[in-house]
Amino acid sequence: MTLFDALDLLNKTDLRDGLSVGDSERYYERRDRIILKSGLSMSIQSHAGSYCFPRQGGLPSHKYTSFEIGYPNEPVADLSYYAEDLDDPCGTIYPYVPLNIIQSIYDSNGGINRTLGLTLIKKKKLWDSIHKASKKYIF
């Protein structure tokens, strides 16, 4: 599975709440963390509110040339140049990381862990549906 396939497979959360129709250029759609076969996980974002290029939302993954990486569960040497906080490699974001760097990390870590990644996505969707249903009732 290619990196783009994996990114498009991940669950996306629409963050447009409260925006008017004219704010479409500020389209926010946060992607769940990607979990790779090696165990490495991180956030890979591309929308109007993230440090990516182009800095707009609603595009398919292959239209972006750089992405915002955030909060890897372990330090990643290839990302250190882009870190906002070098002292906290797992607690920082990495703005405008070029696609070729992300592709290299993806490939060297075995690609997406489909079993674990999809299981977590299914659990999140179930939790979201339960949470949404519970808001209908006032206790």
Q: Are 72 and 79 in contact (CB under 8 A)?
A: yes
What percentage of the chain has pLDDT greater than the value 90?
Answer: 44
> Residue 124 belongs to what H/E stretch?
helix 114-134
User: Would you state the pLDDT for residue 122?
Assistant: 56
Predicted confidence (pLDDT) per residue in 12-47, tens digit: 655 444 444 444 445 567 787 888 999 999 999 988
Tokens 């890897």 — which residue? 72
Q: Identify the pLDDT of residue 24.
A: 47
Q: Taking a C-beta distance cutoff of 8 angstroms, is the pair 89, 83 a contact?
A: yes
| Mean pLDDT taken over the chain | 78
- Please report the pLDDT score of residue 47 as a whole number: 84
Give the pairing type, strands 93-98 and 66-70.
Answer: antiparallel
User: Structure pTM?
Assistant: 0.73
The single-letter DSSP state of residue 23 is G
Q: What pLDDT, in 10s, does the model give residues 36-94?
A: 999 999 999 988 889 999 988 778 888 999 999 999 999 999 999 999 999 999 999 99
More confident residue, 28 or 110: 110
For residue 118, what pLDDT band results from cuts at 50, 70 and 90?
low
- Own/partner pairs, 44-50, CB within 8 angstroms, 24+ separation: 44/7, 44/68, 44/69, 44/102, 45/69, 45/70, 46/7, 47/15, 49/15
